């Protein structure tokens, strides 16, 4: 199946009114419920950041979203600030830059909480393929089969690859992630969404984050 056929077929699936409408209502409803928690977390970080995570509260990064279009993903900052990202797609995570408070934010997945704003703005879904840093994503499109096709749906805060494969780093691991993402896209259903949602809660409860 060529890329155009794959994309067209999955666009048809995504446009299924019942699934798409219900998923969007669920995304918005849960995000609105979580908004007070986001406000509370911001207040706590305003107090703690000067001591344990000096610098801005938020980290905003260009990532590749639906239809391979870029958007600004919002997270709580967990690393020391850098003017430019120099890490290539295959370089390991710069763990030395993770701040004391950042370790907790990453392990608890609280650093992802501000992305409910991206969900409300329509950039993301609660569940879907995780969006990659834009420069890395452009590189992956030219080197990983199926990478472009994973962008026929909205990216998610959590996804099948994250719950089943864990933290993804580098080109080889991204190939495995793409296979999981394409499985998710091909088999999208209310049952699979519920499974990933439950698995995400389990991962967060066990603090199995990056």
Q: What is the pLDDT of residues 63-77, one digit of tens each?
A: 999 999 999 999 999
Cα 127 to Cα 200: distance, rounded to the nearest angstrom: 9
Query: What pLDDT, on the 0 to 100 scale, is given for residue 5?
Result: 53
User: Residue 182's Cα: distance from chain center in Å?
Assistant: 15
Who has greater pLDDT, 2 or 107? 107
Cα 37 to Cα 39: distance, rounded to the nearest angstrom: 5
Query: What pLDDT, on the 0 to 100 scale, is given for residue 210?
Result: 54
Q: In Å, what is the CA distance from 3 to each residue of 7, 70, 150, 190? A: 6, 20, 11, 26
Residue with tokens 């519920």: 194
pLDDT level of residue 196 (50, 70, 90 thresholds) = very high
Coil vs helix vs strand at 156: strand
Residue with tokens 């967060």: 204
Average pLDDT over residues 121-133: 97
Task: Kindly list the domain boundaries of the chain, sorted by start residue.
Answer: 3-205
Q: Which helix (H) or strand (E) holds 136?
A: helix 134-143
Contacts of 111 (CB under 8 A, 6+ apart): 59, 75, 76, 77, 78, 102, 105
Q: What DSSP string runs through 106-123?
A: HHHTGGGGGGHHHHHTTS
pLDDT level of residue 15 (50, 70, 90 thresholds) = low
pLDDT level of residue 167 (50, 70, 90 thresholds) = confident
Cα 77 to Cα 199: distance, rounded to the nearest angstrom: 25
Helices (H), the chain: 3-14, 17-52, 100-108, 116-120, 134-143, 160-165, 171-186, 190-205
Query: What pLDDT, on the 0 to 100 scale, is given for residue 81?
Result: 78
Residue 43 has pLDDT above 90, yes or no: yes
Average pLDDT over residues 70-94: 82
Query: What pLDDT, on the 0 to 100 scale, is given for residue 86?
Result: 67
Query: What pLDDT, on the 0 to 100 scale, is given for residue 206?
Result: 76
Cα 23 to Cα 21: distance, rounded to the nearest angstrom: 5
- pTM of full prediction above 0.85: yes
């Amino acid at each position: 199946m060529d890329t155009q056929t794959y994309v067209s077929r999955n666009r048809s699936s995504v446009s299924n009114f019942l699934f798409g409408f219900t998923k969007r209502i669920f995304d918005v409803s849960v995000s609105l419920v979580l908004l007070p928690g986001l406000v509370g977390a911001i207040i706590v970080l305003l107090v703690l950041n000067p001591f344990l995570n000096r610098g801005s509260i938020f980290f905003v990064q260009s990532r590749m979203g639906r239809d391979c279009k870029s958007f600004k993903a919002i997270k709580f900052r967990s690393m020391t600030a850098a003017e430019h990202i120099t890490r290539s797609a295959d370089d390991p995570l710069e763990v030395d830059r993770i701040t004391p408070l950042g370790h907790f934010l990453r392990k608890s997945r609280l650093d992802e909480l501000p992305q409910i704003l991206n969900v409300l703005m329509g950039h993301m879904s609660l569940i879907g393929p995780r969006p990659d840093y834009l420069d890395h994503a452009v590189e992956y499109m030219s080197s990983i089969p199926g990478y472009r096709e994973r962008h026929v749906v909205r990216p998610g805060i959590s996804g099948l690859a994250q719950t089943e494969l864990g933290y993804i780093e580098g080109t080889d691991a991204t190939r495995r992630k793409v296979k999981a993402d394409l499985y998710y896209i091909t088999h999208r259903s209310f049952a699979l969404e519920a499974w990933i949602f439950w698995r995400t809660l389990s991962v967060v409860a066990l603090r199995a984050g990056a």
